[in-house]
A and B are shown apart, each in its own frame.
Chain A
Amino acid sequence: MLSLLDKWVQENNELANNFKLPEAQEATSPDQNRTNLRQSCSEFHKLLRKIQGIPPDAGHAELELSVVYNASVCFIAQSQIVEAELLLQQATERVLQMTGDDPDTSDPLVLWRTVLKSVRKTAFHHHVLYLLSLQWAIWLTNSYLKTIRDFQEEISALLETLSGKVGDDCRNETKAKFPDVPKLITDPRRLVELLQICTIITQGAERLSEGWSSEVLSDLQAASTLPAARALVAYTHLLSGACLAHMNRPQMALQCYKTALETDSHCVCALYQSILIYRQLKNSQAEIQTLRILHSILLLPSSSEPAMAGTHLLSPSLFLRSQSLSSLLSVPSALSVLHSLALKCVLHSRASEGVEHYLDLLAALHSEDQHRIGAKTMTDTQVHAEVSTLPKLPRLYLEAGAALLMAQRPADCMALCSEVISTTQDLLPQKVVLDESETNAAATEDVKEEGEGGLAMFLWTAAAYLLQGHCFTHMKDWKQAVTHYTRCINLLVKVHYKNKVAGFQTQIPSADTDVQQGGDFCILQRLKGLSFAGRGISFTQMDRMKEALRDLQHSLQVLPEGVGAGLWCGEVLWRLSRRCDAAACWEKTWSLPTQPLTE
């Protein structure tokens, strides 16, 4: 009997050693590791089958539970959760047979409680706790956070027992110098530590999304001192930052993000979150700077490598599967970041810098043809889900064109605009109906769906003409400018409204918020206003005052807050010797809040 047990222990230890051997060599490929894992898994399972083939006996419970542990760890590492859970269930039933208790239930929670109660005084109490920690791992993988909360008391006891092990006890388990101690392939204490911090992180993210930020914060800050992998410690700081951001403490949040980044330089999501904070604080200088850093980090090949994978059998990504967490951990692709950077530069009077970024972006898109696919660099990590926010190519062209114009490079701008016009011209529909009866959000969605054709094409082409008009204005070629403004206006009047809503002006977005949010109706109004104003100004330059006045008044009617149009309207009125009207017009214009304009 003794020799049978010894041989099984030996077999288990050989398997465990074999398993650790290739792990130690760094040269092994992930493929090889996977094969090794699969093989170990079946071997452990086979051994377990042999051990469970004899009646349950408390004398070799330690061995049996160790093999269950090893086999289950292998299964979990391969994401074979169902198999692992089955093993655990069988093991608990056998434990109850050993202790002579009756498992009169199939409810796993009640079963576990019965088992824990019945083994409290036995020698294999710790081994049962190891299995409980695996059950915890399974719950966490399945995101059964409620179950974990229900089991909080038992889990705290588990933590207390396993992490409190000191001295000789601890040494025996981890080193297993003695051949008769069954080896475990993962240190249970490390596993428990991993589960603890992962649970806090996942729970924190979930509860944060439910709005319990202040309660979560204390948990997270306590968790940041727990022993854990660097990346996970960084996540606790990141989540604390997110909590503080929710609680309207942006500066403290920034501090937390900084700590996260200091803790783990791979934690780029902290950088991204701080960008969002800067955006919220309207600190555009800092935002631009951070965007620049983020972009350069994302371009580094090593940034995509998760710091924690590969070192352990059970990767933390197995246990961080919450939806709200992955949205927090997501980072846009390098190209999206570059686009935001370019746009920010242009919007904050750094046109020439913005132009450079736009040109880089367009070059990258052309050379790699990565549009829509986005940068592939981050796809290997599950945790770092990617956000693709890159707009469509014509839009990028137009933005780049506007930037070029602002940087005093009208010729380049015109080239880009002609590019847009040539691609969209054939696809332009005869007329477009804009249904504004729906709510703003719904309209936006509609547009998104039919954005491939229809309205988007219209808007792009119109904007391209408008920009070309601006370019000619810039070059003081008034006649050409009038031609292009006219083309723009002709295009815009083809859009028909349905259920026109009054009072849309109040919803016209300011330039700082994303243009898309305002809905296409506002964009349309804007384009109209600007093109009329442009043509009016061109007419003024050509001394065709009547037409100028008509256009400028049209413009003001469509876009009452247009400062340029207002000023020029006053000018034209002045020249037409309508001094009082001119003064009134100017006065009215000056009273308007000044707004920078882009597209």
Chain B
Amino acid sequence: KAGKQRVSQISPEKQRALFSQATYVWRYGCLKHKRDPVRVFPRAEPNTDLCSKTYCIRKVAAQVDIVKCKCAIDVRRRVRTPCILVTKKRGDRFHYILLTLSSSNQLEPRIKFKPPYQMKGDVCILQGPTVLWRHEDSVFYTSLRAEGVRKIPMEMSHCLFGELSFYKGQVFVLGLQKPSDQSAKQSTSPTLGYFLEDGQVFDGTVVLPHPYLCITQCMLALSSEREGGVLKCAVIAATSHKQLVYFENGVARDACQLPYDHVEGLQVVNTGRNGCLFVVLFKRGDVCAVWKETFQVCPNSQVCLLHVDDFLGCGTDQMLLLFRDQGVARRPADKFLITDLCGISFSCGQASEALKTTPSPQENYLLTLQALESRLQSGLIVLQDLQRDVSVKEGVIQQSVQVLTDVLSGRETQLTQPATGVSLSLLTETGQSSAPAVIQTQSQAFWLPACRPSTPPLSSSSSSTSAFAFSQPAAKRSRQHVASDDPRARRLAVTAMTKLAPLLTSGCVKCCVMLHYTRGADALSPVSKRAPVVLHCGQVAVDIHSVFQKPLLKNPLIKTDEVREDLLSLLTVLDRWVLHIDSPDYSLGDMDGWIQKRAGCQKVEVSPQYLLLDSPEPSAAMLLHWHQITPFQGELSIHSSQLQMLRFLDSLRAFLPASCAVRPVKSARSRSTAQTLALALENEVLSLRKCAASLAREREEGDEGRAGPEEPPEPGSVEGLRRCREAWRRDVERSRTRLSALVDVGKYREMIRIVSDVQTDGDLAALLYAQRTLFS
């Protein structure tokens, strides 16, 4: 093809000459469309003298059928040349001949082959020229190099042919592996790629993701490279869903809707600084262009043929559109348009003749400059690639050096002294009393074989904590290993026992773990007296929940005293959180309903405001109580373990509106109003009693002072009887005076003041209680 000629000044005559080669292809393309070679071949334009000269036409013009026309690179001659695949039928056999157009405008046969079947479906002519086709799940190809028809060594249910632009292994086949193959089922990707030249198989998804393979009608690789054995390429594909999709390394980057169906060909137009255009050719003769950057579509219809080349010789590509002309089929090049859709537009025979331009000398300079610039840029890209390679190599070297250094500098392990005479103390938290109370009564130590070469003493205590929870310490089984094991490779398990009472009273006890041990005799300190060492190992929390196993409130739907008792014990044992939920912008909706819809939620019949959330694990029961204050606020009481509560809160958060504020109510307020009232009343009674008692005592002291000490009366004697009677009379008298005792005014007022203060508190609590109970 004469594309390499540079034409700066275009006259219609020159133009005609330039396009003459393209015209062949156009003409054959036209013929192919008409699907009637018998009639059309003799009618081909006589003055070009082509058809009469060609080999096949002369011989069997009447039986020749054109299968495919396409321009492909002739590897031997290193030119892009139009190729025509024709077939002729001889009896039952089909003969296929690939013709190429030589530089002297001669059609010459290059490849002949005779498959025992007629090729159906897609036949592809790619660089080589290589002819590829599919027949019954097998892919065949032939080329000048291949010498005869070859078969690809795998079966594919669906396939696509393509070519890449790097130096080796250019033509490839993408296909879906047949599902019947057993090994295919195990592989993650059913899409396979195969290079014809070297027979290499690769993962097809790097070119085209799986779902696209079956729907792609046409594919074009834009760029490709191999980085460390990994194929990277950019591809555009036109799909049967009327889309043009752009892929980068198997990822769909962009897609646009095409205006027509049935894509026949894709081409790239590089318009230089204005970016790239993809030209899509449709079977019915329509064409559309898509900008690469924006993926915007620009359709154009009624086009017979399209060519892309640097027709104007300005360093960038243009499209040559040859328009269909109903009347004058013999003068095909009369109506054409050369354009890159941005700046360059040269038309002939089109309605808009005004577009025809001849570039001025100044424009020529500009075009030259642009050509130079684009070359410079491609050079720059090569340079950048080389630089990237260098940096990658440097990185690899540095990494290897690092690995070597790591290997050489291994660390030595620290070994510690073995301990003997170990015991463990659990101390409850200080603060409850001045000195920590030891709740441990007994402890046993076991040696455990270690998994690691060395264990610091601290980890022995941590293992003891875990052993504490076991009903059957795992350590027991390993006792016999003690003697045989190397002392370095031993771990220590300590089991401590304690009484249940302190745990029951306070729910959860946090204990300090103290390890007592005596150092064994060793070479380092022979003089030492084996003084016991006490080591603080940290804290351990001992929880009542790990003690109490029997699930309470098995059936909350019945109303018995037992259930009531269970509820109360659950309320006592479980930790309680009261959360104030405030959603200022969004009403909370039906919280109760939401809780009740959760799995395993039941209403506790004996006290219906409580909802029981039961879960399969024991001791994971949860009691919930929702108290709605307004549609926008409420209080949620959660009785459960902390983990359960957090889990519940997590799902609650998803239910609550985003603008909602959840805050824990302070412990003082978390006490229910009923409790507060009870406490206040109790306080009132107590202080009243105290005050009254102190007043009465003062007066009595005065009385008693005068009465003097009393001897115990002798029973049985008259005197004794008298004195008993006397005493009784005095008692009666005293109690009478006590009932209406005279007290000091100042003291009395003081008492009244104290009592009324206390009563105010009580009234306040009663008011709060009344509010809560009346308005809820």
* A residues at B contact (CB < 8 Å): 1-4, 7, 46, 49-50, 52-55, 57, 164, 166-168, 170-171, 174-175, 190, 193, 224-230, 233, 263, 307-308, 311
B203-246 near A? 1/0 per residue, CB < 8 Å: 00100011110110000000000000000000000010101010
Bound form: Cα–Cα A57–B241 in Å: 14
Give the residue of B211, B257, B594 whose beta carbon is less than 8 angstroms from that of A54. Answer: B211
Q: Is the CB of B586 within 8 A of A53?
A: no
Q: Is the CB of B586 within 8 A of A54?
A: no
Known contacts A4-B250, A49-B243, A171-B650, A229 near B209 by CB under 8 Å: no
Instruction: Determine how close the nearest CB of chain B comes to the CB of A22; give it in whole angstroms.
Output: 16
B587 within 8 A of A: yes
Give the residue of B209, B255, B599, B650 whose beta carbon is less than 8 angstroms from that of A4. Answer: B209
Bound form: Cα–Cα A308–B251 in Å: 41
Bound form: Cα–Cα A46–B256 in Å: 8
Q: Is the CB of A168 within 8 A of B651?
A: yes
Interface 9-mer from B425-433, B437-445, B653-661: B653-661
B598 within 8 A of A: yes
Q: Is the CB of B631 within 8 A of A233?
A: yes
Q: Is the CB of A171 within 8 A of B255?
A: no
Instruction: Determine how close the nearest CB of chain B comes to the CB of A434; give it in whole angstroms.
Output: 57
* Interface hub of B188, B241, B256, B586 (most chain A Cβ within 10 A): B586
Q: Is the CB of B597 within 8 A of A54?
A: no
Give the residue of A54, A175, A193, A311 whose beta carbon is less than 8 angstroms from that of B654. Answer: A175
Q: Is the CB of B254 within 8 A of A54?
A: no
CB neighbours (8 Å) of B189 from chain A are 1
Bound form: Cα–Cα A399–B531 in Å: 108
11 contacts between A and B (CB under 8 A): A3-B209, A50-B252, A53-B243, A55-B241, A167-B599, A175-B654, A190-B657, A227-B588, A228-B589, A230-B586, A311-B659
Bound form: Cα–Cα A2–B650 in Å: 31
CB neighbours (8 Å) of B214 from chain A are 55
Known contacts A1-B209, A50-B255, A225-B631, A55 near B215 by CB under 8 Å: yes
* Interface hub of B212, B239, B594, B655 (most chain A Cβ within 10 A): B655
B632 within 8 A of A: yes
CB neighbours (8 Å) of B561 from chain A are none
Give the residue of A4, A174, A227 whose beta carbon is less than 8 angstroms from that of B211. Answer: A4
B385 within 8 A of A: no
Q: Is the CB of A166 within 8 A of B255?
A: no
Q: Is the CB of B589 within 8 A of A227?
A: yes
CB neighbours (8 Å) of A224 from chain B are 631
Bound form: Cα–Cα A365–B417 in Å: 97
B590 within 8 A of A: yes
Q: Is the CB of B655 within 8 A of A170?
A: yes
CB neighbours (8 Å) of B252 from chain A are 4, 50, 53
Instruction: Determine how close the nearest CB of chain A comes to the CB of B265; give it in whole angstroms.
Output: 19
Q: Is the CB of A170 within 8 A of B654?
A: yes
B585 within 8 A of A: yes
Known contacts A1-B210, A3-B205, A166-B597, A52 near B631 by CB under 8 Å: no
Bound form: Cα–Cα A225–B589 in Å: 6
CB neighbours (8 Å) of A228 from chain B are 586-587, 589
Bound form: Cα–Cα A228–B597 in Å: 20
Q: Is the CB of B255 within 8 A of A49?
A: yes
Q: Is the CB of A4 within 8 A of B210?
A: yes
CB neighbours (8 Å) of B241 from chain A are 52-55
Give the residue of A164, A190, A227 whose beta carbon is less than 8 angstroms from that of B597. Answer: A164
Q: Is the CB of B188 within 8 A of A53?
A: no
Bound form: Cα–Cα A308–B585 in Å: 8
Instruction: Determine how close the nearest CB of chain B comes to the CB of A194; give it in whole angstroms.
Output: 10
Bound form: Cα–Cα A17–B365 in Å: 50
Instruction: Determine how close the nearest CB of chain A comes to the CB of B246; give it in whole angstroms.
Output: 10
Bound form: Cα–Cα A7–B594 in Å: 36
Give the residue of B212, B251, B587, B659 whose beta carbon is less than 8 angstroms from that of A227. Answer: B587
CB neighbours (8 Å) of A164 from chain B are 597
Known contacts A46-B254, A226-B589, A1 near B205 by CB under 8 Å: yes
CB neighbours (8 Å) of B586 from chain A are 227-230
Bound form: Cα–Cα A308–B584 in Å: 12
Instruction: Determine how close the nearest CB of chain A comes to the CB of B158; give it in whole angstroms.
Output: 13
Bound form: Cα–Cα A473–B343 in Å: 89
Instruction: Determine how close the nearest CB of chain B comes to the CB of A201; give it in whole angstroms.
Output: 14
Instruction: Determine how close the nearest CB of chain B comes to the CB of A547; give it in whole angstroms.
Output: 72
CB neighbours (8 Å) of A52 from chain B are 241
Known contacts A4-B211, A227-B587, A233-B631, A166 near B594 by CB under 8 Å: yes
Bound form: Cα–Cα A170–B653 in Å: 10
Instruction: Determine how close the nearest CB of chain B comes to the CB of A86; give it in whole angstroms.
Output: 13
CB neighbours (8 Å) of A311 from chain B are 585, 659
Q: Is the CB of B631 within 8 A of A171?
A: no
Return the chain B residue nearest A174 by Cβ.
B654
Known contacts A4-B251, A170-B651, A226 near B587 by CB under 8 Å: yes
Bound form: Cα–Cα A230–B255 in Å: 43
Instruction: Determine how close the nearest CB of chain A comes to the CB of B660; give it in whole angstroms.
Output: 11
CB neighbours (8 Å) of B209 from chain A are 1, 3-4
Q: Is the CB of A166 within 8 A of B598?
A: yes
6 smallest A-B Cβ distances: which pairs?
A: A227-B589, A54-B211, A4-B209, A1-B210, A53-B243, A50-B255
Bound form: Cα–Cα A307–B632 in Å: 15
* Interface hub of A166, A193, A230, A311 (most chain B Cβ within 10 A): A166
Contact residues of B between 248 and 282, Cβ < 8 Å to A = 250-252, 254-257
CB neighbours (8 Å) of A57 from chain B are 211
Bound form: Cα–Cα A508–B698 in Å: 91
CB neighbours (8 Å) of B250 from chain A are 3-4
Q: Is the CB of A166 within 8 A of B251?
A: no
Given contacts A228-B587, A263-B631, 17 further A-B contacts (CB under 8 A): A1-B205, A4-B209, A4-B250, A52-B241, A53-B215, A53-B252, A55-B211, A166-B597, A166-B599, A170-B654, A226-B587, A227-B588, A227-B589, A227-B657, A229-B586, A230-B632, A233-B587
Bound form: Cα–Cα A474–B245 in Å: 91
Bound form: Cα–Cα A168–B209 in Å: 33
Instruction: Determine how close the nearest CB of chain B comes to the CB of A306; give it in whole angstroms.
Output: 12
Known contacts A1-B205, A1-B211, A230-B632, A53 near B651 by CB under 8 Å: no
Q: Is the CB of B598 within 8 A of A167?
A: yes
Return the chain B residue nearest A4 by Cβ.
B209
Instruction: Determine how close the nearest CB of chain B comes to the CB of A307; give it in whole angstroms.
Output: 7
Instruction: Determine how close the nearest CB of chain B comes to the CB of A202; give it in whole angstroms.
Output: 19
Instruction: Determine how close the nearest CB of chain B comes to the CB of A239; give it in whole angstroms.
Output: 16
CB neighbours (8 Å) of B210 from chain A are 1, 4
Give the residue of B211, B256, B587 whose beta carbon is less than 8 angstroms from that of A49. Answer: B256
Q: Is the CB of B651 within 8 A of A54?
A: no
CB neighbours (8 Å) of A193 from chain B are 589
CB neighbours (8 Å) of A225 from chain B are 587, 589-590, 631
Return the chain A residue nearest B211 by Cβ.
A54
B190-208 near A? 1/0 per residue, CB < 8 Å: 0000000000000001000
* Interface hub of A55, A174, A224 (most chain B Cβ within 10 A): A55
CB neighbours (8 Å) of A50 from chain B are 245, 252, 254-255
Q: Is the CB of A229 within 8 A of B205?
A: no
CB neighbours (8 Å) of B659 from chain A are 311
